[in-house]
Structure 1
Amino acid sequence: MTELIKNSNISVDCVVFGYDTNTKSLNLLLIKRYLESETDHKVLVDDYVLTGYHIYEHEKLDDAATRVLKELTGLTNQYKKQFKAFGDPDRLRNEKDILWIDNEKFNFRTVTIAYYFLVKTEDVDLTHNKNQAEWFSIHQLPELGFDHKKIILEAYEDLKTKCLAEPIIFELLPNKFTINDVQDVYESILDIEIDNRNFRRKLINKKYIIPLDEKQIGVSKKPAQLYMFSKDVYDKMYEKNYLINI
């Protein structure tokens, strides 16, 4: 069995984006960071951070990020992207960060490799989460520790660009969906309103959007046509500079 030796200078931080089909909103999974003084129990740190951890010496970066996600959510095989390294010498020098680091006994000079993941919020059970994890709207984030606001904003910008270049939004949808479902995801990520008729026309003409001989069930309004995304068809027609024109 490999001995788990931690590399105290390199960590991974995971930006976990989750789409909520009920509220039609893009959310972010954060964990509580809380610290009291040992003498008088004065609150020293009370905010939220991304989930991250130092890598083990034997680990590949991708494996470390996958491990962190599994420990947080129980999920594996989710879409993930390594998007940037953050190595400013002063990135962990905020007053609260210094208190936290001193308590946790880890290295101030830590370079973190940032990843983002795409999950469905309904797939994550937070009932007994040991890290006090919570979902927050990407547009209503709480007070954040370390340089995690910067990491989150850069991940979000990368996600917005990526969703126009690759069909990654289907990672956030059920296997069978309506055209409105797809539009809702795009609108939540891009924070824009999309013309419904124009979007519908463009989407149903995509060969990788397969119409099914099924309609919604259990809805009060007129049931809509269901579709599925075919990765096989998309891969066959993919071109290097292909953009998803919405």
Structure 2
Amino acid sequence: MMPKIIPNISVDCVVFGFDANTKSLNVLLLDRYLESEENHEVLVNDYVLTGYHTLENETIDDTATRVLRELTGLDNLYKKQFKVFGDPNRLMNEKDVIWAKSENFNERTITIAYYFLVKTHEVDIENNQHKPKWFPVNDLPELGFDHKTIINEAYTDLKAKSLYQPIIFELLPDKFTIKELQDVYECILGVEIDNRNFRRKLLTKKYLIELDEKQVGVSKKPSQLFMFSKDVYQKIYKESYLISI
């Protein structure tokens, strides 16, 4: 027997992905589209976050993990539960009411919001049955429900956490250059960072391990590669700012 959903409790997931080619922080969204049965009039045509109702036999964390796995095929990624959204009017816009009726949603649904950090190339969009799309976090399309608010609050939390927790490394390959690390910081924080000061400060961090390797397959002079040591970080730091701007 399939477990029943809890009709007024859902989980919405903000999947952030860093694109190293475009140097942009992106959000994974789904197309929300609905036509009338009578004359095929377009009733709803916008984008939403991925969200599911929680099942009776699940914890909230279980639901979030299930959402991510079904959307991306990925597991064991950084995730952060950051807020509960329970405004009684959060599903009451005209398009949202139409959509809620078509999907038999409870109009008084409370959602627990999470965000995840992935590398965009790890998500196979081409062969994904849900047909998700990446959008730059600063250039989002029209969004349904209160999902713009959810994304904005997730982004605010991400910017704050990136200054005192090593979550930024979740968006980088295992081996990276100092410039690639700087690119991610600049992208997330929306600021320009002085190259020399950034390099000087980062090279004093014991959790950055310099490798006996350099970039390969680049046209310019290859840069030194580094890796992040989570073990070293946890031994040395309890809560320490990674950079100062």
Q: Which portions of structure 1, spanning 4 or more consecutive aligned residues, are displaced by more than 6 angstroms?
A: none
Q: What is the CA deviation profile of residues 105-142 of structure 1, one whole-angstrom value per residue up to 9, with x for unaligned ones? A: 11001000000000000000011222221000011100
Q: Which residue of 1 aligns with 2:17?
A: 18
Q: Secondary structure at the match of 2:10?
A: strand
Structure 2 unaligned segments of length 5 or more: list them. Answer: none
Q: Which residue of 1 aligns with 2:111?
A: 112
TM-aligned CA deviation for residue 24 of structure 1: 1.1
Q: Which residue of 2 aligns with 1:174?
A: 173
Quote the Cα distance in structure 2 between the aligned partners of 1:206 and 1:32.
Answer: 43
Structure 1 unaligned segments of length 5 or more: list them. Answer: none
TM-aligned CA deviation for residue 52 of structure 1: 0.2
Q: Secondary structure at the match of 2:47?
A: strand
Quote the Cα distance in structure 2 between the aligned partners of 1:148 and 1:160.
Answer: 18
Quote the Cα distance in structure 2 between the aligned partners of 1:34 and 1:149.
Answer: 17
TM-aligned CA deviation for residue 244 of structure 1: 1.6
TM-aligned CA deviation for residue 243 of structure 1: 1.5
Quote the Cα distance in structure 1 between the aligned partners of 2:130 and 2:7.
Answer: 21
Q: Which residue of 2 aligns with 1:245?
A: 243
Q: Which residue of 1 aligns with 2:61?
A: 62
Query: How many residue pairs get matched?
Result: 244
Q: Which residue of 1 aligns with 2:71?
A: 72
Q: Which residue of 2 aligns with 1:220?
A: 219
- % identical aligned pairs: 67
TM-score by length of structure 2 reads 0.98
Quote the Cα distance in structure 1 between the aligned partners of 2:191 and 2:219.
Answer: 27
TM-aligned CA deviation for residue 239 of structure 1: 2.3
Quote the Cα distance in structure 1 between the aligned partners of 2:94 and 2:232.
Answer: 52
Quote the Cα distance in structure 2 between the aligned partners of 1:131 and 1:228.
Answer: 34
Q: Which residue of 1 aligns with 2:40?
A: 41
Quote the Cα distance in structure 2 between the aligned partners of 1:78 and 1:58.
Answer: 22
Quote the Cα distance in structure 2 between the aligned partners of 1:25 and 1:62.
Answer: 28
Q: Secondary structure at the match of 1:165?
A: coil
Q: Secondary structure at the match of 1:214?
A: strand
TM-aligned CA deviation for residue 165 of structure 1: 1.0
Q: Secondary structure at the match of 2:176?
A: coil
Q: Which residue of 1 aligns with 2:6?
A: 7
Counterpart residue identity of residue 85, structure 1: V
Matches within 5 A, 1:86-235: 86-235=85-234
Q: Secondary structure at the match of 1:181?
A: helix
My pick for the range that moved more, 50-59 or 123-132, is 123-132
Counterpart residue identity of residue 219, structure 2: S
Q: Secondary structure at the match of 1:211?
A: strand
Q: Secondary structure at the match of 1:67?
A: helix
Quote the Cα distance in structure 1 between the aligned partners of 2:241 and 2:196.
Answer: 19
Q: Secondary structure at the match of 2:163?
A: helix
TM-aligned CA deviation for residue 103 of structure 1: 0.5
Q: Secondary structure at the match of 2:68?
A: helix
Q: Which residue of 2 aligns with 1:51?
A: 50
Counterpart residue identity of residue 143, structure 2: L
Quote the Cα distance in structure 1 between the aligned partners of 2:113 and 2:236.
Answer: 31
Quote the Cα distance in structure 1 between the aligned partners of 2:4 and 2:175.
Answer: 44
